[in-house]
Amino acid sequence: MRSIWKGAISFGLVTIPVKLYSATEQKDVSFHQVHREDGGRIRYKRVCTLDGEEVQYADIAKGYELASGEMVVLTDEDFEGLPLTTSRRIDVLQFAPAEQIDPIYFAKSYYLEPDAQGAKPYVLLRNALESSGQVAVVKVALRQRESLATLRVRDGVFVLETMLWPDEIRTPDFGFLEEDIEVRAQELKMAESLITTMESDFDPSEYHDTYREALQQVIEAKVAGKEVIPAQEEEEGGPAVDLMAALRASVEAAKREREGAPAKPKKAAGKSKSEEKAPAKRKTRKSA
Q: What is the pLDDT along the chain (288 residues), one digit of tens a residue?
A: 889 999 999 888 888 999 999 998 888 888 889 888 888 889 989 999 999 999 999 899 999 999 999 999 998 888 777 776 556 889 999 999 999 999 999 999 999 999 988 999 999 999 999 999 999 999 998 877 889 999 999 999 999 999 999 999 999 999 999 999 999 999 999 999 999 999 889 888 898 888 888 888 888 888 888 666 666 665 665 665 677 787 788 888 888 877 775 544 444 444 444 444 444 444 444 433
Integer Cα distance of 143 and 22 in angstroms: 13
Quick check: 137 and 40 in contact, CB under 8 A? no
| pTM reported for the whole predicted model | 0.69
Integer Cα distance of 91 and 81 in angstroms: 20
